[in-house]
Amino acid sequence: MVSLVVLGAQWGDEGKAKIVDLLAEKADYVVRYQGGNNAGHTVTANGKKYKFHLVPSGILYSGKKCLIGNGTVIDPKALLSEMQALENDGLDLTSLKISPLAHVTMPYHILIDAAQEEARGENKIGTTVRGIGPTYADKISRTGIRIKDILDETLLRTRLEAVLPEKNAILSKLYNKPELDLENILETYLAYGHSLRPFITDVSLDLFNAAKNEENILFEGAQGTLLDIDHGTYPFVTSSNPIAGGATIGTGVGPLAINAVIGVAKAFTTRVGEGPFPTQLDGDLAKILVAEGTPWAEFGTTTGRARKVGWLDLVLLKLAVRVSSISSFALTKLDVLDDMETIQACIAYKNKKTGEVYHDFPLCEDMANLEPVYKEFAGWKNERSRCRDARSRKDLPANAKEYLNFIEETLGVSIDIIGVGPDREEIIIDKSPFQARSLV
Ligand code: IMP
């Protein structure tokens, strides 16, 4: 039995969907453990493009059980319309199951997310405005509404009567927005609950039984390590725990139930939204990394915003390895570096004022004071082979191999899967980690 977490090792958008799609084929369960419809990815299969926000992409394979855990936040309107679109595309959703303990994104969460961002002005976080932060805030404040609450009129009325007056006061008094009507919300959300009722399951118990039956489980992380509410670049983070530990809390399995963690990282770095980004580039080099005009150009799937791009940051990846026990890496988009003259990788940060050098992420430094220390690599532009054409590690250009070897040595973790192009078959599965080997 393999129980594997696939997570983002950077600021999200690392190309997790392609890796999950690859590994899901051999999994019995594919499970989302955090985040909501702030996540977004497109998977091309059978000549069709499918858009996913909350539904695990494992649903593309018939017979896989796809679970949405208690650690996620669910906007039922968005989930139901995603489900409808997938059904219209001919997918069977009977194996989709949802935890009744997941928190519900209510209309006031979305309105408050937008109003808070507006009020932050220059200090805005750049959220996806899907109500994610306010939904998690209510969960922690114990004022949230869970999926189980929208299945029962009395329960939902009691919860709304307790919560809505405060939300309406915030909307009207603090943000000068119209108040929301309780009866209206009640009716709408009970209807959503009615539609979701057939999908409800005890995710924790299902996974416990799956493990007992030696079935393979794939936990699919959303966002990435540096957007983690605890270990990321706070406050420019999301409100959940994308790191591997999030999978245990967000689904109700114990830590010993997980036996492999695949960190997905791009061969460079990207970020959407606001916040520090030490290795950010602009100008011509950025243009190469953005790959504008190609179907794999760097634009957010959920919001369509252009992503900022920069060199690979190994200080941040070392943090990702440490906080999630990453046991192997999937490095994506190596082919995008095919046209680079030289390539840099950040190996440390230097404090511009004091000259102090940090090889590990310094928790108490203001990132504005830090500049990256780079190691330069020769590109492979002038070699005969290109990454895009390689289908095994030995086919890669010599300089690309050198770049990969250095990353592995620095992180102490092997790169077992390498993405060399956008298509499903443009991938090198070099030496899968022991646990993952039985999956691929
Ligand atoms: P929120 O999750 O909508 O609250 O947004 C908080 C931060 O996380 C913002 O910087 C977003 O751009 C970022 N973010 C949220 N979801 C994703 C994602 O799926 N990929 C990349 N960044 C994301």
Q: Which residue owns the Cα nearest ligand 1 atom 1?
A: 127
What DSSP element (H or E) covers 42?
strand 41-45
Site of tokens 């109003």: 115
With cut-offs at 50, 70 and 90, classify the pLDDT of residue 305. confident
In a domain, 97, yes or no: no
d(CA 1, CA 22): 18
Q: Which residues pair with 310 in a beta bridge?
A: 269, 280
Q: Which of 181, 198, 215 is the last residue of a domain?
A: 198
Do 129 and 182 fall within a single domain? yes
- Burial group, residue 154, by CB count within 10 angstroms (0-12, 13-18, 19+): exposed
In the prediction, which pLDDT does 7 show? 98
Site of tokens 């310094």: 362
**Who contacts 86 (Cβ-Cβ below 8 Å, separation ≥6)?**
50, 55, 59, 93
Do 311 and 214 fall within a single domain? yes
- Of the candidates 21, 28, 41, 103, the residue annotated as catalytic is 41
Ligand 1 mutation pick, 34, 57, 128, max ligand atoms within 8 A of CB: 128
Do 255 and 289 fall within a single domain? yes
Site of tokens 């997310």: 113
Q: Which residue owns the Cα nearest ligand 1 atom 5?
A: 127
In a domain, 404, yes or no: yes
Do 307 and 403 fall within a single domain? yes
What is the CATH number for 120?
Answer: 1.10.300.10
Q: Which residue owns the Cα nearest ligand 1 atom 16?
A: 38
In a domain, 98, yes or no: no
In the prediction, which pLDDT does 440 show? 44
Please answer whether residues 45 and 424 qualify as being in contact, where contact means their C-beta atoms are separated by less than 8 angstroms.
Answer: yes
Please answer whether residues 35 and 73 qualify as being in contact, where contact means their C-beta atoms are separated by less than 8 angstroms.
Answer: yes
In a domain, 368, yes or no: yes
Do 174 and 215 fall within a single domain? no
Q: How far is the CA of 409 from the centre of ligand 1 (A)?
A: 30
Question: What's the mean pLDDT when you consider all of the chain?
Answer: 94
Using only C-alpha atoms, the chain has a radius of gyration, in whole angstroms, of 22
Q: What is the DSSP string of 389-413?
A: G-SSGGGS-HHHHHHHHHHHHHHTS
Do 214 and 182 fall within a single domain? no
With cut-offs at 50, 70 and 90, classify the pLDDT of residue 432. low
Do 115 and 81 fall within a single domain? no
Do 122 and 218 fall within a single domain? no
In a domain, 440, yes or no: no
Do 257 and 145 fall within a single domain? no
Q: How far is the CA of 398 from the centre of ligand 1 (A)?
A: 36
With cut-offs at 50, 70 and 90, classify the pLDDT of residue 70. very high
Q: How far is the CA of 268 from the centre of ligand 1 (A)?
A: 19
| Strands annotated E in 256-409 | 260-266, 269-271, 308-310, 312-313, 328-332, 342-351, 357-358, 370-378
In the residue annotation, 194 being an active-site residue is answered as: no
What is the CATH number for 306?
Answer: 3.40.440.10
d(CA 32, CA 160): 27
CA angle 356, 357, 359 (to 5 degrees): 150
Do 147 and 262 fall within a single domain? no
Is the confidence at residue 439, as pLDDT, over 80? no
Do 339 and 388 fall within a single domain? yes
Q: Which of 198, 228, 250 is the last residue of a domain?
A: 198
Q: Which residue owns the Cα nearest ligand 1 atom 11?
A: 127
Picking from 59, 53, 85, the residue whose alpha carbon sits closest to that of residue 72 is 53
Q: Which residues line ligand 1 (CB under 6 A)?
A: 12-13, 38-39, 125-128, 130, 132-133, 222-223, 227, 236, 238-239, 272-273
Do 229 and 342 fall within a single domain? yes
In the residue annotation, 53 being an active-site residue is answered as: no
In the prediction, which pLDDT does 71 show? 98
| Number of the ligand 1 atom closest to the C-alpha atom of 222 | 19
In a domain, 10, yes or no: yes
Residue 234 dihedral angles phi and psi, to the nearest 5°: -55, 140
Taking only the tens place, the pLDDT of each residue in 139-156 is 999 999 999 999 999 999
Q: What percent of the chain has pLDDT over 90?
A: 85
Domain of residue 215 covers 3-87+203-435
In a domain, 93, yes or no: no
In a domain, 294, yes or no: yes
Q: Which of 198, 222, 237 is the last residue of a domain?
A: 198
* Max CA distance (Å), the chain: 70
User: How many structural domains does the chain have?
Assistant: 2
Q: Which residue owns the Cα nearest ligand 1 atom 19?
A: 39
In the prediction, which pLDDT does 431 show? 62
**Which two tokens mark 53?**
């926000």
